[in-house]
A = this chain, B = another copy of it.
Amino acid sequence: MARWEPNASERLQEAALGLFRERGYDRTTVEEIAARAGLTERTFFRYFSDKREVLFAGAKALEKLVTGAVAGAAANVAPLDAVAAAFEATAPLFETRRPYARERQALVLAHPELQERELIKLAALAAAVTESLEKRGLGKTRAGLVAEAGIAIFKHAFERWLDDAKKRDLAHHVRAVLSELRHVTAAPAARTTARRATRRRSTA
């Protein structure tokens, strides 16, 4: 028989989420979270470096999944396609949790401090993907751009997925958004139909 109840971290996460739902994020203290989990404030801070972090426990797993997929992509796949495919591969992580994801999204959106944390997690993910791409031989800037484009695709795909009345899966939206990105970044040679030529400086 163990000395303490197991799964302290999970208990803290559940307690936190419950309290945030009931009272809101700011009106919940770390002491209250710990108490609900049967622990003390000090122990909370041993598991999570700060109050926000309790909502981002899954970030490391996501990062590993994505970077692994990028690293494992066939060498002849275009970098952006490899990254998009890697994000498609995360669909199973979320598939069964759409209601939870929606609730979490609303919570984060309502609190700038949580948005900041989300943004730095995504930035860390972008950095990790960048590194994977550099190992495939891409230059630093290009690797960074592709990684950040991938993050942008993921963000918009995720948002669409959350709101999708037709309940199509995340991978579907990733493909759709990738297609839009390609459309919108395509070089502006001949746009729509009849237009006077646009004055263009030669880039690069």
A112 to B121: give the CA distance in the assembly, Å: 11
Cβ of B76 and Cβ of A195 under 8 Å apart?
yes
Q: Which of B116, B148, B182 contacts A116 (CB 8 A)?
A: B116
A188 interfacial by beta-carbon distance below 8 Å: yes
A165 interfacial by beta-carbon distance below 8 Å: no
**With contacts A115-B123, A175-B204, A180-B142 known, is A185 near B149, CB below 8 A?**
yes
Spot the interface stretch: A13-21, A40-48, A54-62, A78-86. A78-86
Q: Copy number in this complex? A: 2
Contact with B along A184-204 (1 / 0, CB 8 A): 111110010001101011011
A35 interfacial by beta-carbon distance below 8 Å: no
A156 to B145: give the CA distance in the assembly, Å: 8
Contact-size category for A: 35 or more
Cβ contacts under 8 Å, A81 to chain B = 188, 200
**With contacts A119-B119, A182-B187 known, is A198 near B112, CB below 8 A?**
no
18 cross-chain CB contacts under 8 A: A76-B198, A77-B188, A78-B191, A80-B184, A81-B200, A112-B120, A116-B116, A119-B119, A141-B180, A142-B180, A144-B156, A145-B152, A145-B153, A146-B184, A149-B185, A179-B203, A185-B185, A186-B186
